[in-house]
């Protein structure tokens, strides 16, 4: 019998629910006790804990686990946000073969609109989550790009993912939800406040960013219909990566996973992962490396010229997302707006005419 999606954190941390959830992969397991650990409570709730089992923890399962759901008052109003991530861990993470959190249970309740994911605790295992203040090298960025390439290649034009509702494009989600005027005002507040103090003057124009992104989204609808799409992460900034216990770069946070074009992930990632100086020195080599990784998985990659022109699209996507971001530590927003704003200047990414036609 399948475990239901828990409604509260108390239920998710109960031996009874954990037994029913874990029995799907580990028949016969009986969780006797749960030792609570640290909890990070924002919109989503991430709770780390340790399980004690009758007869010991079965082979292949760590006793140190983490549950992610939308249990608090703020999270209950945004439970739908967890749908894509729950489906990803349940249906796509394993067949894609990418390095991500090891999920032991995931599901989405279509009535409650609540997605919950149960994973092994990567921090307890010796891994570490990254953010904009983390220093990574171009070699590490190449490693993370190899994982994006594996995700993209494993789903490249694949019919089995073409009609999954949870992979529908959501590039225009914020535009639909808030409207152009509210979006522009939000970006302007970021650009012209402390978070935007290092945004280059050439791109410090909220209305131009909204216009360019709106133009890109419109063109992508046409391009997606006529080109090879793949499943993309959708929010490929450095803060959605971690270093696993072996030191390998890995991907995390799948709330915006969707069908789309490869360059949206790649442009955002290259622009956010490195300092401005490192990115300028290595971005072409990193892009060529990504294309080689696609080819190694059997995908015919775009030409280097087309790929280089496409970079601006992913940079624009990243700048738009961080332009509207407010519920993250200000120092991290400031770093990423500087990196993305500089990359947008270098690649002339705010010129709407660049996005009037497909590549």
DSSP one-letter string for 287-308: HHHHHHHHHHTT--PPPHHHHH
- 209 and 338 fall within a common domain: yes
- 33 and 152 fall within a common domain: no
Average pLDDT of 100-114? 96
Burial 37-64 (b: 16+ CB within 10 A, else e): bebeeebbbbbbbbbebeeebeeebbbb
Residue 5 DSSP symbol: P
Does residue 1 belong to any structural domain of this protein?
A: no
The C-alpha atoms of residue 50 and residue 62 are separated, in whole angstroms, by 9
Please write the tens of the pLDDT for every residue from 215-246: 999 999 888 777 789 999 999 999 999 999 99
Query: End of a domain among 87, 120, 153?
Result: 120
Q: Average pLDDT, whole number, for the chain?
A: 96
- 102 and 230 fall within a common domain: no
Query: End of a domain among 85, 120, 155?
Result: 120
- 251 and 175 fall within a common domain: yes
Please write the tens of the pLDDT for every residue from 9-61: 999 999 999 999 999 999 999 999 999 999 999 999 999 999 999 999 999 99
Residue 1's pLDDT band, with cuts at 50, 70 and 90, is: low
Does residue 4 belong to any structural domain of this protein?
A: no
The C-alpha atoms of residue 112 and residue 122 are separated, in whole angstroms, by 28
Please state the domain count of the chain: 2
Model-level pTM greater than 0.75?
Answer: yes
Residue 284's pLDDT band, with cuts at 50, 70 and 90, is: very high
Please write the tens of the pLDDT for every residue from 75-89: 999 999 999 999 999
**Joined tokens for residue 242:** 């971690």
- 35 and 51 fall within a common domain: yes
Residues present in the chain in total: 359
- 208 and 145 fall within a common domain: yes
* CA neighbor of 51 nearest in space, from 29, 26, 34: 34
- 86 and 156 fall within a common domain: no
**Joined tokens for residue 33:** 């006790």
- DSSP per-residue string spanning 164-228: -GGGS--TTHHHHHH-HHHHHHHHHHHHTSGGGTTS-GGG--HHHHHHHHHHHHHHHHHHHHHS-
Q: Do residues 264 and 332 make contact, with C-beta atoms less than 8 angstroms apart?
A: no
Average pLDDT of 268-292? 98
Residue 73's pLDDT band, with cuts at 50, 70 and 90, is: very high
Q: Do residues 34 and 18 make contact, with C-beta atoms less than 8 angstroms apart?
A: yes
Q: What 3-state DSSP class applies to 145?
A: helix
- 71 and 135 fall within a common domain: no
Among 315-319, 321-325, 352-356, the minimum mean pLDDT is found in 352-356
**Residue 44 is part of which domain span?**
9-120
- For helices 262-273 and 276-296, the axis angle rounded to 10 degrees is 150
Q: What is the pLDDT of residue 300?
A: 96
- 142 and 51 fall within a common domain: no
Cβ neighbours of residue 321 closer than 8 Å, sequence gap 6 or more: 235, 237, 268
């Amino acid at each position: 019998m399948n475990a239901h999606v828990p409604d509260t954190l108390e239920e998710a941390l109960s031996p009874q629910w954990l037994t029913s959830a874990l029995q799907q992969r580990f028949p016969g397991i009986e969780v006797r006790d749960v030792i609570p650990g640290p909890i990070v409570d924002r919109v989503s709730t991430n709770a780390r804990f340790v399980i004690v089992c009758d007869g010991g923890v079965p082979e292949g399962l760590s006793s140190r686990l983490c549950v992610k759901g939308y249990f608090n008052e703020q999270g209950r109003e945004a439970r739908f946000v967890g749908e894509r991530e729950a489906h990803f861990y349940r249906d796509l993470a394993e067949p894609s073969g990418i390095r991500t959190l090891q999920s032991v249970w995931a599901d989405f309740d279509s009535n409650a609109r609540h997605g919950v994911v149960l994973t092994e605790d990567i921090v307890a295992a010796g891994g570490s989550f990254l953010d904009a203040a983390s220093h990574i090298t171009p070699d590490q960025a190449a490693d993370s790009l190899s994982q994006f390439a594996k995700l993209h290649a494993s789903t490249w034009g694949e019919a089995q993912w073409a009609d999954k509702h949870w992979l529908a494009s959501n590039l225009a989600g914020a535009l639909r939800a808030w409207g152009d005027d509210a979006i522009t005002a939000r970006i302007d507040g970021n650009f012209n406040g402390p978070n935007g103090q290092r945004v280059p003057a050439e791109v410090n124009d909220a209305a131009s960013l909204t216009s360019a992104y709106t133009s890109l989204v419109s063109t992508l609808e046409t391009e997606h219909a006529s080109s090879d799409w793949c499943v993309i992460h959708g929010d490929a900034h450095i803060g959605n990566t971690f270093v696993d216990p072996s030191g390998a770069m890995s991907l995390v946070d799948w709330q915006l996973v969707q069908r789309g074009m490869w360059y949206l992930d790649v442009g955002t990632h290259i622009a956010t992962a490195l300092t401005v100086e490192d990115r300028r020195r290595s971005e072409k080599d990193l892009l060529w490396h990504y294309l080689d990784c696609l080819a190694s998985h059997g995908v015919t990659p775009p030409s280097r010229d087309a790929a280089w022109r496409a970079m601006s699209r992913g940079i624009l996507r990243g700048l738009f997302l961080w332009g509207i971001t407010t519920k993250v530590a200000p120092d991290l927003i400031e770093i990423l707006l500087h990196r993305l704003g500089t990359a947008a200047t270098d690649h002339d990414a705010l010129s709407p005419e660049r996005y009037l036609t497909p590549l």
